[in-house]
Amino acid sequence: MPRTSTTYRPTGRVLTLLELLQSGGTRTTTELAERLGVDGRTVRRYVNQLIDLDLPVEPVRGRYGGYRLAPGHRLPPLMFDDDEALAVLLGLIAGGRAGLTTGAATASETAAAKIRRVLPARLARRLDTVLESLALTAPSGSFDAPDAEVLLTLADAVRHRRPVAIRYTDREGRRSDRTLHPYGIVVHSGRWYVTGGDPASGEDRNLRLDRIADARALPGSFEEPAGPDPAERLLSGFATADYRYEVTVRVHGTVEQIRARLPASVARVEEAEAEQVEGMDPVTERWLRVEIRAERLDWLPPVLASLDLPFVIERPAELRDLVVAFADRLASSARRT
């Protein structure tokens, strides 16, 4: 809690000592004595009071010894100042809305409620005014959260470069047991993915965590191949996945202009054959080939129009018809106006 005075009663000093230890690491007796305004003997007495309350305070021997809290324990009370409490609660709320939670969909709500209950009344009232005045737009979709144990197992395998055995259900509902060399975990548009190598096929895989029913670390280790980072691998995989339509469009402009409307998760962009266009800089503005895989084509005409750049549709023919129809509708609307 924020302190308004440097004068403490003994109970206040004990709570301040707990707050200092909760911040992590080892605190020397000299440092604690200076922060509390007492001598080393009194620090040891306060430490014993915390131990009497079953709080796991450990002595650390040696030249730079002192005291620390043993890891893995849940320690009341939560010593948040205003900024910290607001950051935690808003983070839980925003994370839940963005799909950045695991386990039950209500996990972020119950965690926020537990923190709210142990806050002092003054601070709780101030935070309530923020939460009551806060409005969040509806999320873009409702996604299944990954299993917490699966997430933790995969994260450990990523860190230590260990292969994992997983049980996976694909989008067709087919279940299979697989071995994966996990490179990294990526959250994209509210969904959790693990990207990694399939040692059986030698190909990269991007798998949804909510479709993994079980994950188990295997003996041994692997070397991650050189190349893009996990997020780039995921986006590249989206752009090259199998879909109903394979679209190729040549656009005259810059990569930045195209990426503003067609991100890497949607399209691949590469340089096309040189072709000069009057009034355009051949160095910075050139023909680029854009390749898109899509299940539907109806969303593409307005996107292509929003580029406001010359473009040529190479395939499919259906897209040309849709663009012409879209242009006719725009022209008709303009004439009515």
Q: Tell me: the pLDDT tens digits for 211-263?
A: 998 999 999 999 988 888 888 888 777 766 667 788 999 999 999 999 988 98
* Distance from the Cα of residue 198 to its chain's centroid: 24
Please report the pLDDT score of residue 3 as a whole number: 41
What is the rounded CA–CA span in Å between residue 295 and residue 308? 24
Listed ranges 75-84, 105-114, 177-186; the one with the highest mean pLDDT:
177-186
pLDDT digits (tens, 9 = 90+) for 83-107: 777 788 777 777 766 666 665 556 6
How buried is residue 5: exposed, middle or buried, by Cβ count under 10 Å (0-12/13-18/19+)? exposed
pLDDT digits (tens, 9 = 90+) for 153-163: 999 999 999 99
Please report the pLDDT score of residue 146 as a whole number: 80
Phi, psi angles (nearest 5°) of residue 179: -110, 135
Identify the H or E element spanning 164.
Answer: strand 164-169
- Residue 114 — very low, low, confident or very high, per pLDDT cuts 50/70/90? confident
- Residue 191 — very low, low, confident or very high, per pLDDT cuts 50/70/90? confident
Identify the H or E element spanning 149.
Answer: helix 148-160
In three-state form (DSSP H/G/I as H, E/B as E, the rest C), the secondary structure along 12-35 is HHHHHHHHHHHCCCCEEHHHHHHH
Please report the pLDDT score of residue 73 as a whole number: 59
pLDDT averaged over the chain?
Answer: 81
Nearest to 57 by CA among 16, 21, 20, 12: 21
| pLDDT over 80 at 276, yes or no | no
191 vs 302, more confident: 302
What is the rounded CA–CA span in Å between residue 301 and residue 318? 11
Phi, psi angles (nearest 5°) of residue 69: -95, 135
What is the rounded CA–CA span in Å between residue 162 and residue 197? 12
What is the rounded CA–CA span in Å between residue 184 and residue 230? 5
**Count of alpha carbons within 13 angstroms of residue 274, beta-carbon side:** 4
Please report the pLDDT score of residue 173 as a whole number: 86
The structural domains of the chain, ordered by start, are: 10-69 (1.10.10.10), 85-133 (no CATH), 148-230 (2.30.30.100), 242-336 (3.30.70)
